[in-house]
Amino acid sequence: MTTPKHIAISLDDISDWCRKNNIEIGEGCKRYFGCLGRLLELQVHLNIPISTIHLLSENFEKSTDDYLIFCDFIKEFFNELVNNSIIVGQKIKISVFGKWYNLPGKTVESLKNLIASTKEYDNFFVNFCINYDGQEEIVDACKLIAKQVELGKIDPEMITKGSIKENMYSSYFLPPDIILIYGERKLTGLLLWDSVSSRIEFAGKSFMEFEEEDIKNILDK
């Protein structure tokens, strides 16, 4: 088994799973975030330095009660991670990619608090993609570069693949070795710029049915 340096994981829409299984969104969220906690423990157990987890798409319908309930669970989950024995004991640095600052205020505060409390950690790295869209990540990088050109800091001929990478949300991290997708068998745009050489794997099920073997079996291939 070759241990990857970076694994990216795209989680499916919890609302769809709850509707199909006739389960209240609150009960579904308990199960979902329980699985997420086990996933973080598994990263440490398998000694994978970096993980990037697509937790909430920017395209999630924000006018629904499901969205607000899900955001409340994000808030509680991140609040609990501040003093989590795995996070603190293993010195896991948490980063958040996407337009997460557009979430409800108390949820944003919980994210800020966790980012600040883990900023000095450097044994493991976990990146959560929240209100994230892979194409928007590239658009935002282009805007930053355009601003640098406008200010005369760089010349257009100086723009390279490397300079684009430097302006991505994921600028500090190696591209993922593996991208694991839960739910439908389709690409989700997770780390779109960095996924050129990544191995794509489909779990063939919902993340609500997560088992540790999902990851272990992929690493054994």
Asked if residue 123 lies in contact with residue 92, where contact means CB atoms within 8 angstroms, the answer is yes
Q: Which alpha helices (H) appear in 48-183, and where do they start and end?
A: 65-81, 85-89, 105-117, 134-150, 161-166
- pTM given for the model: 0.94
With CA atoms as reference, report the closest residue to 126 among 38, 35, 40, 3.
Answer: 40
**Whether the predicted pLDDT of 186 surpasses 70:** yes
Q: List the domain boundaries for the chain.
A: 6-219
Interval 133-164: pLDDT, tens: 999 999 999 999 999 999 999 999 999 999 99
**Whether the predicted pLDDT of 59 surpasses 70:** no
**Whether the predicted pLDDT of 58 surpasses 70:** no
- pLDDT band of residue 60 (cuts 50, 70, 90) is low
> For residues 100 and 112, what is the distance between their CA atoms, to the nearest angstrom?
10
For residue 101, the model assigns a pLDDT of: 93
- pLDDT band of residue 220 (cuts 50, 70, 90) is confident
Phi then psi for residue 172, to 5 deg, are -85, -5
For residue 221, the model assigns a pLDDT of: 79
**Whether the predicted pLDDT of 57 surpasses 90:** no
**Whether the predicted pLDDT of 208 surpasses 90:** yes
| Mean pLDDT score of the chain | 94
More confident residue, 15 or 134: 134
Q: Tell me the average pLDDT across 80-100.
A: 96
Residues above pLDDT 90, as percent of the chain: 90
- pLDDT band of residue 65 (cuts 50, 70, 90) is confident
> For residues 133 and 10, what is the distance between their CA atoms, to the nearest angstrom?
12
CATH code of the domain made up of 6-219: 3.40.1180.10
For residue 64, the model assigns a pLDDT of: 78
Q: Tell me the average pLDDT across 170-198.
A: 96
